Amino acid sequence: MDGVARRADNRGTRVQFVAVSKVCGIETEYGIQHVGGDGNPVTSSSLLVNAYVSEIARVGWDFEDESPGNDARGFARDSALAPEIETHLVNAVLTNGARYYVDHAHPEYSTPECATAAELVIFDKAGEEILRRSMTAAARVLPPSQSIVVYKNNSDGKGNSYGTHENYLMDRAVPFARIARQVMAHFVTRQIFCGAGKVGTETAKAPAGVAYQISQRAEFFEEQVGLETTLKRPIVNTRDEPHADPRRFRRLHVIVGDANLAEVATFLKVGTTAFVLAMIEDDAFGADDLVPANPVSAIRQVAADPTLSASVELSGGRRATALSIQWELLERARKYAETRGCEALGGEDAGNGVLARWESVLHGLETDPRSLAGQVDWVAKLQLLEAYADRHGLAWDDRRMAAVDLQYHDLRPGRSLFGRLGTERLADPDAVERAVTEPPRSTRAYFRGRCLARWADAVTSANWDSLVFDLGTDPLRRIPMMDPLRGTAEHVEELLATCASPAELVARLSGGEKEPTDG
């Protein structure tokens, strides 16, 4: 399979091209606190990541193909350039195919590439477990009076926000302007089921007098479209860094999401977005009448309304609630699945699973949002906070409310308020345990991860689209992986099992016996 699905029509004769498979991933910057330390988050993050990777096979990241300043619109304003890469900070590739590193002042875990939303939930949860093990590893090297605490959240309560970014494989031929225009309605409104919730506001541009928001990130967005990720954040990010064959693919870099602990929320965040992007890619999205007239103010307005009753003005002049926009997007996705199928979503079962959950959650939000406390983060947290405030007679601006908010995101098993709620699990715990060290079988991450597990000493560096081997002779050998859907277990499991050494692997790949990639 080369990333482009093909299917005969009802007559069984004509073959039509449909959207490329929505290979996806999540990058999470975790909040960090060094109790008893010097307060330097870069130092603390480096200590945390180093403590973990020093105990396992470690391979460094290859920065050769990094180009964060490339803009999908074909230009880059000086004021909107992406930040420079900090190559001196710890940056490792794990045997599960993931990247674990220090991004500025935060530990960041980037999942391996996954083929479906359900698979991505597993590897996102594996990331949480890796951070827990990192805290344990750090405790072994820190003085008894010190500890490092990690939070899966998106802001520090002092006006600083850090990201949880998603990535989706798309066809390079699709005009970026069409993507940016048509995805806007979804990005503004999907927070009603994937927002993480937050006490109060942190920026001057947020609506005044808001006690609770359904999204942690919404108030930090200032532009509709742009390249930045840390300042003047845009709802649609234009970073053009495909990590794949740039002639065939683009990677839509999505920065508008919250960090979710609830597995259903993560599943829907990714699954619904993949559906919307597939519709856009196949030019089957329909009319642009759902786009808000002012997306920046609309995303803040939606976040500030836990009742879900407020309406936003759309570009055509009518008004609609976020919930009604999501119902319309679901209806369009259903029609798309009926006429085009769900190949791009990982198959009929995967696609229909997203549609069913999408419908059930929207129905719950419409009839009784509290019924979704086991599935949606902002609902779960809101109930926790309301109960705490009632029990102690607190106002929403009491600092103890913010402390409870933060403790919801604490990853320590004994301290996490989320961990006490018994929310619905989609990922099998055994599958999550395996995903800590083993890669997904469905993407090129399998080839990357298995090579690192077997021959870490021979891999000098790695990144998303290549591995570099040192075979003891000049020159170093780079193995390209330019198609995310090659290098899967189906492609290379037998090859890897029958190669006794990395030299044999490279020789057989060079001889064309089997190609794990499209390179």
* H or E segment to which residue 515 belongs: none
To the nearest 10 degrees (0 to 180), the angle between helices 117-141 and 41-53 is 100
Query: CB 515: neighbour CB atoms within 10 A?
Result: 15
For residues 480 and 519, the answer to whether their CB atoms sit within 8 Å is yes
State the Cα angle at 83 between 39 and 220, rounded to 5°.
70
- The strand pair at 319-321 and 198-199 is best described as unpaired
For residues 46 and 60, the answer to whether their CB atoms sit within 8 Å is no
- Phi first, then psi, for residue 441 (nearest 5°) are -85, -5
3-state secondary structure of 465: coil
* Beta-ladder partners of 91: 101
State the Cα angle at 324 between 188 and 339, rounded to 5°.
90
CA distances from 11 to 8, 14, 15, 431 (A): 7, 7, 10, 41
The three-state (H, E, C) secondary structure of 377-427, written as one string: HHHHHHHHHHHHHHHHCCCCCCHHHHHHHHHHCECCCCCCCHHHCCCCCCC
* Beta-ladder partners of 29: 108
Q: Which of 103, 171, 282, 405 is catalytic?
A: 103
What's the burial of 430, exposed, middle or buried (CB within 10 Å: 0-12/13-18/19+)?
exposed
Alpha-carbon span 333 to 329, nearest angstrom: 6
The length of the chain, given as a count of residues: 519
CA distances from 186 to 51, 305, 327, 382, 513 (A): 39, 17, 11, 23, 45
390 is known as an active-site residue: no
3-state secondary structure of 238: coil
For residues 227 and 310, the answer to whether their CB atoms sit within 8 Å is no
The CA radius of gyration of the chain, in Å to the nearest whole number, is 23
State the Cα angle at 467 between 466 and 472, rounded to 5°.
145
| Alpha helices in 111-262, H assignment, sequence order | 117-141, 176-189, 191-194
What's the burial of 252, exposed, middle or buried (CB within 10 Å: 0-12/13-18/19+)?
buried
Query: CB 497: neighbour CB atoms within 10 A?
Result: 9
Alpha-carbon span 317 to 217, nearest angstrom: 27
Closest to 230 in 3D by CA, of 295, 165, 301, 152: 165
For residues 131 and 33, the answer to whether their CB atoms sit within 8 Å is no
Residues marked active site are found at 103
